[in-house]
Amino acid sequence: MRVLTPGLVGLMFLFACSSTPSDRDGAVSDATSDSATTDGGTTPDGSTADGTATDGTTTDGTATSDGSTADGPVSPPGFTTEPGFTVTGSLVHGGSVTIKHTAGGLGSRPHPLPWLWDLVSAQYLNGVDQKAYAGVGDGQPVTTAVWTNQNLYQGWDLPEHKFKYTTSRPLRHPRATAQYGNYAKSPTDPKPYSKLAFPKWPSAWGTQTNARMYLSWWQRLNGATPGYPQDAQGNGGEDKPLRFGDSFSAGLGMFDITVAGLTVNTVGFGNVKAWGSLPDPKAAWHRIELFIDRTVGIADMYVDGKLRLGTAWSVNKNDLFEFRPKAQYLYASPAVAGTELDTASWKNVTVHWLGFDDGGMTTKFAPGRNVEVSEIYLDVSRARVELSSAATWQHRPDAVRTSEVQGRLTAWSASTVQFQLHQGAFGSLAGLYLWVITDAGQALKVGRFAP
């Protein structure tokens, strides 16, 4: 069963990069281009076999508990910092880390801690673990303590449409102890809905009136129907992992976002804009990121670190566009008219659901499909810390970047950021880079782990 919002047109459009746009990545105020800093001074290599430092000791091993000496803080052995930065703490998975910037260039955040960091095994809402699934066993449907509304649409509250608290299936990486999963009973079992709906808003923040939202999550579709398949005519492209909109809106809201496409109420072309498809016969895990600024009119989407460009093929399939005002395009050239977001009536922006909706094509396109979701990071700011394979941070369709967001922020100021290190699926920290992304979208390279 599929429910449509009045005026929402379910047209999906193929991702195309056949033309060669000019290289203008990030030359705008709200997102930087390859803003990597130059490599700075090094510390002696005291790394372990996997390239990680086990504590905060200095080169002579006489450090205080926070890794400082009489001359001030130094980075732990095995980590090279960029000029202006110092890093102290335990650079291992789960270790407490402090980043300091001498010039105070880390910017601010609307709130010191993220809205939500959902590891499934724990859910940190404004830094406080909700323990939402205490007592929920492996394979049981999750509760609505954090994702609050499973009854918005008819049938959503049925067990087959709910994600299950999953511990016994293969998880995304060895450090994960649980994930969201909804699994087909057989290769012919249809999988119409798998949804986490309306995340809880931190009561300490007051009334929800956020104009911005940054969302990152890992998702995999496997089983008899992996990925987001389409037939020759593009049918099936409405397989949607996310729908977002105003929490005050009735019905399904204004937006459909999917790895296969996005339709949105825009100025100019109407509901005929979309991001492209992502066929995935190997059923791999993909990191999907979305940044929304409804006031400015920005909706940037990244899959595995690559900026996704849209097309409007019902008008001109060769027009590559970005959901941005023309003057603030990151990459596509020439800027295409009529791609601004129209959200003037919104009071805020939130997640209507996250997971899987096959767009009414269940029987034909999604039998036997398994849906898995892991590590969800949600905030009203882009300001965050990332562990990454990338030596430069690019906002481009051909960017090469595998990253793990550091969701356990514990403090943030213009000069200091504190967090607990999340290694994610990286088998080793050796050779990886630590980045700070500011609220303005500027990417600052903090340093590198020894190879």
- Cα 209-211-214 angle, rounded to 5 deg: 115
Q: What is the dihedral of CA 242, 4, 159, 363, to 10 degrees?
A: -90
DSSP state of 111: S
DSSP state of 161: G
What residues have CB less than 8 Å from 92, skipping those under 6 apart? 52, 53, 54, 421, 423, 429
Q: For the chain, give me the number of helices (H) and strands (E)?
A: 2, 30
**Long-range contacts of residues 82-86, Cβ cutoff 8 Å, at least 24 apart:** 82/37, 82/38, 82/39, 82/40, 82/444, 82/445, 82/446, 82/447, 83/37, 83/38, 83/40, 83/41, 84/37, 84/40, 85/40, 85/446, 85/447
- Dist CA 96 CA 418 (whole Å): 7
- Dist CA 215 CA 381 (whole Å): 9
Take residue 186 and report the two structure tokens written for it: 């057989």
**According to the model, what pLDDT value does residue 360 have?**
55
CA distances (Å), 95 to each of 37, 92, 406, 419, in order? 25, 5, 12, 8
CA atoms within 13 A on the CB side of 156: 25
CATH class of 116-378: mainly beta
- Dist CA 129 CA 96 (whole Å): 17
Mean pLDDT by 10 residues, the chain (451 residues): 31 30 35 36 29 30 34 68 95 96 94 97 97 95 88 69 93 97 89 86 95 95 76 55 73 40 42 61 89 88 88 60 88 80 78 78 71 97 98 95 97 97 96 97 96 92
- Dist CA 401 CA 415 (whole Å): 26
**According to the model, what pLDDT value does residue 195 have?**
86
**Per-residue H/E/C for 214-259:** EEEEEEEEEECCCCCCCCCCCCCCCCEEEEEECCCCCCCCCEEEEC
Task: Record the pTM.
Answer: 0.81
User: Under the phi-then-psi rule, with left for phi > 0, alpha for psi from -120 to 50, and beta for the rest, what region is 224?
Assistant: alpha
User: Under the phi-then-psi rule, with left for phi > 0, alpha for psi from -120 to 50, and beta for the rest, what region is 26?
Assistant: left
195: β partners: 162, 355
**According to the model, what pLDDT value does residue 368 have?**
87
**According to the model, what pLDDT value does residue 278 have?**
64
SS3 316: helix
**According to the model, what pLDDT value does residue 312 have?**
60
Could you tell me which of 355, 79, 18 has the C-alpha nearest to residue 218? 355
DSSP state of 432: -
User: How many other CB atoms are there within 10 angstroms of residue 29's CB atom?
Assistant: 11
